[in-house]
Structure 1
Amino acid sequence: MIFDEYAIKSLIRPVPGFPKEGVTFRDITPLFQSPKALRMVADSLIQRYIDSPVTHIGAIDARGFLIGSILAYELNRPLVLFRKAGKLPADTLSASYETEYGEATLQMHRDALSGGEQVLLLDDLIATGGTFLAAASLVRQSGADVYEAAAIIDLPDLGGSHQMQDTGIPTYTLCAFAESER
């Protein structure tokens, strides 16, 4: 199946004013309601990483879990969950970060990584980059490395992908929405 960026972008629903006025939320649920589009997204990411040295898939709460679990299964790699504070039951590592709406904390199980792993971080989109940067901090606290941070969507005007690249985190996205498209 050939990747069609226009088809993917057409299935990402803009929701103006959510979760607050002035923000246009990019809703990926219509994309997941299309088996063809979901397969196109998953297959594109699988092909990118099938021959990579990635040892673990790091899925970021909560929409990153959707595509992360598919990649972990298809690439036969362990899945590491990065969750909002208080959602993981065992001993955790924590990293706080700034969001567009305030401050948040991301956690992962302390024993999820032991050191030396190459982790692919996945989420639905890159906005300010705070969540990815927090996840990368947790990976590094564990002695592992971030291979790349991947998402379906980049919002380049918010600067997250540039900030991530400036801190040594390679990024990859399937599509981008510029300010003029919001």
Structure 2
Amino acid sequence: MQASTNYIQNLIRDYPDFPKQGILFRDITPIFRDVKSFNLISDFFYEKFGNIQIDYIAGIEARGFILATLLGLKFNRGVIMIRKAGKLPGRTLKQDYSIEYGTAVMEMQADSFKKGDKILVADDLLATGGTAEAAAKLIEELGGLVAGFGMIVELSSLGGGNLLQSKGYSVHSMVTY
């Protein structure tokens, strides 16, 4: 398992001072160009969550859709999209969340799953946890149960993993900085 994590971590590129001075950007796009990484990632999360009931995988816009689809195939489950406001047709639920300079809104279609379904939430990056927490609130507002969070990268100094765990959620990140 450590060899898999090291392989993925070696694909991630660092860009200092992007998108602004003082920020170290962790670019995961090389992972998506490397087919071996897809197998390593799906195996990693199957090892972490394969022993619990999961009805759907929810992907958070936008790179979370890639991970959710990958896990949906591995777990043989459908995928739900959690998107920025205004991107989904039909009746939706909305949830405000904090971002660096204010707030944003995430939404999910109201008929995404049945009450009591267990949803694994997938995203590329866990930083402060605001987006992930908003996703959990949407799922729970619809009567779903959050089965856990699967993240490719976690920036532990920003506290998102601790925030989610303090609320009782299971969080697994493949690479932690």
TM-score w.r.t. the length of structure 1 is: 0.91
Percent of paired sites with the same residue: 38
1:166-181 matches, within 5 Å, as: 166-177=166-177
Q: In structure 1, how many angstroms separate the alpha carbons of the residues matched to 2:110 and 2:5?
A: 37
Residue 30 of structure 1 aligns to which amino acid in structure 2? P
Equivalent in the alignment of 2:151: 151
Deviations 1:97-138 (A, max 9, x none): 112343111100011022101110000011000010000000
Q: Does 2:36 match 1:36?
A: yes
Equivalent in the alignment of 1:14: 14
SS in 1 for 2:139: helix
Q: In structure 2, how many angstroms separate the alpha carbons of the residues matched to 1:130 and 1:2?
A: 28
Measured on the aligned residues, the alpha-carbon RMSD in Å equals 1.6
Q: Is the 8 A contact 1:94 1:108 kept in 2?
A: yes
Equivalent in the alignment of 1:64: 64
- Compare 107-116 and 97-106 and name the one that shifted more: 97-106
Residue 159 of structure 1 aligns to which amino acid in structure 2? G
State the shift of 1:2 in Å.
7.5
1:104-119 matches, within 5 Å, as: 104-119=104-119
State the shift of 1:3 in Å.
4.4
SS in 2 for 1:4: helix
Equivalent in the alignment of 1:55: 55
Equivalent in the alignment of 2:103: 103
SS in 2 for 1:66: helix
Q: Is the 8 A contact 1:150 1:171 kept in 2?
A: yes
Q: Does 2:104 match 1:92?
A: no
Q: Is the 8 A contact 1:61 1:81 kept in 2?
A: yes
Q: In structure 1, how many angstroms separate the alpha carbons of the residues matched to 2:3 and 2:138?
A: 32
Q: In structure 2, how many angstroms separate the alpha carbons of the residues matched to 1:68 and 1:106?
A: 17
State the shift of 1:162 in Å.
0.4
Deviations 1:113-168 (A, max 9, x none): 22101110000011000010000000000011101011011111000110111112
Q: Is the 8 A contact 1:3 1:44 kept in 2?
A: no
TM-score w.r.t. the length of structure 2 is: 0.93
Residue 61 of structure 2 aligns to which amino acid in structure 1? D
**Number of matched pairs:** 177
Segments of structure 2 that go 5 or more residues without pairing to the other structure are none
- Compare 29-38 and 1-10 and name the one that shifted more: 1-10
Q: In structure 1, how many angstroms separate the alpha carbons of the residues matched to 2:48 and 2:164?
A: 20
Q: Is the 8 A contact 1:100 1:128 kept in 2?
A: no
Q: In structure 2, how many angstroms separate the alpha carbons of the residues matched to 1:42 and 1:58?
A: 15
